[in-house]
Structure 1
Amino acid sequence: MKLIFAGTPAFAAAALEALINAGHEIALVLTQPDRPAGRGMKLKPSPVKQMAQSHGLRIEQPPSLRNETAQAMLREIGAEVMVVAAYGLILPQAVLDIPARGCLNIHASLLPRWRGAAPIQRALLADDSATGITIMQMDAGLDTGAMLSVHPLPIAADETAASLHDKLAALGADAIVTTLAQLATLSPVVQPEAGVTYASKLTKEEARINWQQSAVEIARAIRAYNPAPGAHTLLAGEPLKLWMAHAIAGSGTPGVVMEAGADGVIVGSRDGLVVLSTLQAAGGKRLPAREFVAGRTLTGVQLGI
């Protein structure tokens, strides 16, 4: 099938690779313009661009799809379908109407739950037992289009946003290949009105740990914000990033380190104890607790101030 592919991050690159391997003709790849990255702030191509380059595909990086020049370029392709995955640009109705069989989106949730920008993290924060991939026929709304296929995935108890992202990327890659193979026989299903939730964009501020929450909520938040924006608190007034944690029974003063050893830094909360197992001090590397506590006196220290 002749396709246009639009996507930017690693989640989308997995789908692009699967479509290439399935034998589809990728006539054009759209991705976000290169962005500054790293200490040198040099321009870095997106994972989708890197994937497309490795296969010799045509790549375009328009800053917008709202102008006639960009739309004329898409019309010239004559694609049957445009596949979209975490592209980062809004597709106006004029673009949605260009492919002969429409635009299909790979969305990382079980719609209509978690429409929007951060479905993976919001599912973890809400303690959902499952999430998945929805292949959706795009319309002008925010993830409101009719569903072509739904692919559930259970959420493990120790799941981080990073690990769940990788599972969903693989599932999404398989799902879009399967859906395109069955496209002629699938009937779009309108999303129900009941159960709609919105996965708003993550902010650094919300990832600051509130030690007045329960241990279960805090540990869940630490895993949900891994890798971005990264859960954080203060240690002696300096930023401290928290990458992995779990909750255990017990009691302690919220935010106070009750014990620190090889098995973890144990911190009090409103209800229960939080065991911090991977931490990162300002200017340092991510370290397992056994390395982080070496040379530090932490017991009795109040975090967050």
Structure 2
Amino acid sequence: MRLVFAGTPDFAQSALAALHDAGHQIALVLTQPDRPAGRGLKLQASPVKQWALAHGVPVVQPRSLRLEGKYPQEAAAARQALQAAGAECMVVAAYGLILPQWVLDLPPRGCLNIHASILPRWRGAAPIQRAIEAGDTETGITIMQMDAGLDTGDMLLVQRCPIAPGTTAAVLHDRLAALGAGAIVQALADPGALQRTPQPVEGITYAHKIDKAEAALDWSQPAAQLACRISAFNPFPGMTVPWVHNGQTELIKLWAAHAEALAQPAAPGTVISARADGVRVACGSGQLCLTELQRPGGKRLGAADFLRGFALQAGQSLKDA
């Protein structure tokens, strides 16, 4: 099939490569404009653009697709490129721009979206992280026929994936990227056999974009909830907690932890023990065992290595550091 592909990050690049390998012709790629990245803040092409350039596929990078929006010339140029591409279908994965109705109506087979959740749960920008944060035990991929709403279109194909305790967003991302790549190839192998199923009207949740302000850890929350949040925010933005070391307050990042029962009552933020197998801290309910930590400018370390350069003692309060 002759396709247009719209996507930006690694998650999307996996699907793009799979479609190409399956024999589909990628006539055009839409992706976000190059962004500053790295210490030098040099402009960097998205993973999707890098793949497209390596395979000789034309790339368009409008800042908007709205013909009456802020960048009408860029939108008009994108429309011209899409019309010239003559694609039968448009595949969208983590693109980052809202598609106006003219885009949805352009391909004969419409626009198909690869969404990283089992809709209607976790519509929106961050379904992988929000599923882990909520303690979900299952997620998956939905291939959806796009409409004008936010992830509201009919479902065409659903594939499921378990979430084991302690699974990080990075690990789940890679699993779902592979699952999504396989799912879109399966969907396009015989599109006529796909049945459109309206999304349930119950069970709708929204996966709002991750904000750096969410990184601050609150010891008054239950340990189980904090453990889920630490996994959900690994690798971005990373949960942080202020700790005092040699009279200086440092923001420590927490990368791995699990919840345990608290044997003796203690105020939230109190260090219960600091041993090689983990730093245990009392929470609103239960205790959190921290097993991978990172000081500013340092490397991620297991608890044993971390404690060699950062003395902690039972009874110390971290809540007001």
Give the alignment's TM-score, normalised by structure 2.
Answer: 0.92
1:292 aligns with 2:300: no
Question: Within 5 Å, which residues of 2 pair with 1:123-272?
Answer: 123-236=131-244, 237-250=249-262, 251=264, 252-272=266-286
Offset at 1:69?
A: 2.4
Q: Is 1:283 aligned to 2:291, yes or no?
A: no
Could you list the per-position Cα deviations for residues 218-266 of structure 1 after superposition, in whole angstroms to 9, with x for gaps in the alignment?
1111111111121111112321111111112224331122222221111
CA contact (8 A) 1:29 1:59 kept: yes
- The equivalent residue for 1:47 is 47
Alignment correspondent of 1:64: 64
CA contact (8 A) 2:60 2:78 kept: no
- How far apart, CA to CA, are the structure 1 residues paired with 2:237 and 2:135? 19
CA root-mean-square deviation: 1.2
Does the 8 Å CA contact 2:223/2:259 hold for their aligned counterparts?
A: yes
Q: Which segments of 5 or more consecutive residues in structure 2 lack a partner in the other structure?
A: 67-74
Shift of 1:209: 0.9
Task: Give the match for residue 17 of structure 1.
Answer: 17
User: Which residue of structure 2 lines up, in the alignment, with residue 302 of structure 1?
Assistant: 317
**Which contiguous aligned blocks of 4+ residues in structure 1 show a shift greater than 4 angstroms?**
none
Shift of 1:296: 2.1
Offset, 1:96: 0.7
Distance 2:110 2:65 in 1: 16
Which residues of structure 1 form unaligned runs of 5+? Answer: none
Tell me by how many angstroms 1:295 deviates. Answer: 2.8
- How high is the TM-score relative to the length of structure 1? 0.97
- % identical aligned pairs: 60
Aligned length: 305
The within-5 A match list for 1:44-123 is: 44-66=44-66, 67-123=75-131
The answer for the alignment partner of 2:72 in structure 1 is none
**2:26 partner letter:** I
Question: Match for residue 69 of structure 2?
Answer: none
Partners of 1:200 and 1:293 in 2: how far apart?
35
